[in-house]
Amino acid sequence: MNIKIGTCGFRSNKFEYSEILNCVEVQHTFYQPPQVKTLEKWREELPAEFEFTIKAWQLITHESSSPTYRRLKKKLTEQELAEAGFFKPTAIVKEAWEMTLACAQALKAKTILFQCPAKFKQTPENIANLKKFIRGIDRGTLNFAWEPRGPWEDKVVKKICKDLDLWHVVDPFAKQTVTPERCYFRLHGRTGWRYTYEEDELEDLISLLPEKETGYVFFNNITMTEDAVRFEKMCQGRERFS
């Protein structure tokens, strides 16, 4: 199985992390992207086979009323605050995309995650803005992963993913993906962050993975690193005996 396994953010020294896991989902790029030179250094310091995925800057996906903006260091004007987020066709969203793309290029990332808040609802305006945004940028060979939250209908998500060539991102223990051949799982703990996954749960997770296609599994719970390492070993064991 060509599955990349890791955690949402480094939970330890990145050098030690890269010795036990082969992929990480970078969180810094969502809140406030680091300098490109910093990310280039990360890429140079870690093994060539180590993979980074990144979360798109929140200025693309989240409106300024989001509590996540508390960690934003960039000073926005009143107009920018009003025009940020929800894939709006605005200058600040365009600027945020250019920064996100620069981060992806610095890390040589193959995949960008667009994580949307529950407030980004299934409305004609939001869908139109999402489509206009994705179709209006040069993605090159990048994979785009989309995590809608809230009451989106599966049939609507499936059509959007098909039309825009997106990977549907889910917590597989909470929701079924509509793009099973393009797996991007984010596990947040079945009863919340303070959760450790049981062996049988990880076995169930293996059964949800595509057999030949590339996929990602990222843990985001209190024992995320330990769970990711256990899951990696289970996947390797399954491969040896398949």
pLDDT in tens, 33-67: 999 999 999 999 999 999 999 999 999 999 999 99
pLDDT at 47: 96
Strand partners, 114: 146
On the question of pLDDT at 70 being above 90, the answer is yes
pLDDT at 237: 77
CA dist., res. 146 & res. 167, Å (int): 6
Q: Which domain holds residue 90?
A: 3-240
Contacts of 174 (CB under 8 A, 6+ apart): 188
Average pLDDT over residues 8-25: 94
pLDDT at 1: 58
- Which domain CATH number covers 161? 3.20.20.410
Q: Which of 23-27, 129-133, 238-242 has the lowest mean pLDDT?
A: 238-242
pTM, 2 dp? 0.96
If you search the block for the tokens 């595509």, which residue do you land on?
Answer: 210
DSSP string, 219-239: E-STTHHHHHHHHHHHHHHHH
Q: Which of 48-62, 131-145, 225-239 has the lowest mean pLDDT?
A: 225-239
Give the pairing type, strands 166-170 and 143-147. Answer: parallel
On the question of pLDDT at 78 being above 80, the answer is yes
pLDDT at 211: 85
Specify the number of domains making up the chain. Answer: 1
pLDDT at 239: 60
CA dist., res. 71 & res. 80, Å (int): 16
pLDDT at 11: 83
Average pLDDT over residues 220-235: 96
**Phi and psi (nearest 5°) for 143?**
-85, 135
On the question of pLDDT at 242 being above 50, the answer is no
Burial of residue 75, with CB atoms counted within 10 A of its CB: 0-12 exposed, 13-18 middle, 19 or more buried? exposed
